[in-house]
Structure 1
């Protein structure tokens, strides 16, 4: 469903036949946002979604916007739950130093629809042993 005033943006779509993610565009009816280093903005896509039960929409960075221009998504991947009906929003954090402007309609993120099963949680007295055990945070080395 489109937000009010969002008649000009295309629906989220895959850019190529092999793309895993649909491009999400900035809905900025009040004009562009000129980012400076360290700026964080929550940007509307102008769309609401209804996902199938048992799925989620993962909001991920676009590689070009990240690597070429210095944008990250601070909560990547973001999750849109199947029962959420609000506007899909994207948090953009700018790490670049040159300044960069995001305009209405610019592709700012990508969305991947993925399975999200729910499991029952059970308390146990012990866990099975594995080769890794409790080693974490680099315990398996770099190479």
Structure 2
């Protein structure tokens, strides 16, 4: 799939797969330096704009290494980029740690996965079909 991309900041490389053909997510990089203080969140610019094709959506997921090693993750995970959005891609990061986390321009901060999207058409009914699970949930299915 080809996705049009505009570099706002040409000093940063285009997002790329670390292991092409194997990775699901393409790494997004920070377009700015910042100190993400412990317990706080901030939107980080990526220096790119993209045109996701109609029928698809972009989903911004955390990088597991940042979460595991530093307690830094995507706050609204996954962040959603609609196909009609043409602004700069931003990533809202949160630092769950008590330690400050330094972000440098060019650091890989999140990953983007493009998913095909089905549009929903509601079918109002008076009664839903039965299921084995019925209305149990939120921990009702066991340990």
Q: Which TM bucket (shorter chain)?
A: over 0.9
Task: Give 1:2's match in structure 2, choosing from 1, 7, 10.
Answer: 7
Paired position in structure 2 for 1:72: 73
TM-score by length of 1: 0.92
Partner Cα distance (2:75, 2:133) in 1 = 30
Counterparts of residues 30-49 of structure 1 (less than 5 Å): 32-49=33-50
Measured after TM superposition, the shift of residue 98 of structure 1 is: 2.4
Q: Deviations over 1:79-134 (max 9, x none)?
A: 10011101110000001122210010000000000011102112111001111111
Counterparts of residues 1-143 of structure 1 (less than 5 Å): 1-3=6-8, 6-17=9-20, 18-28=22-32, 32-142=33-143
Partner Cα distance (1:95, 1:108) in 2 = 15
Q: Which aligned runs of 4 or more in structure 1 are off by greater than 4 angstroms?
A: none
Contact kept in structure 1, 2:38 and 2:98, CA below 8 Å: yes
Provide structure 1 residue ranges, at least 5 long, that are not aligned to the other structure.
none
What is the RMSD computed on CA atoms of the aligned residues?
A: 0.9
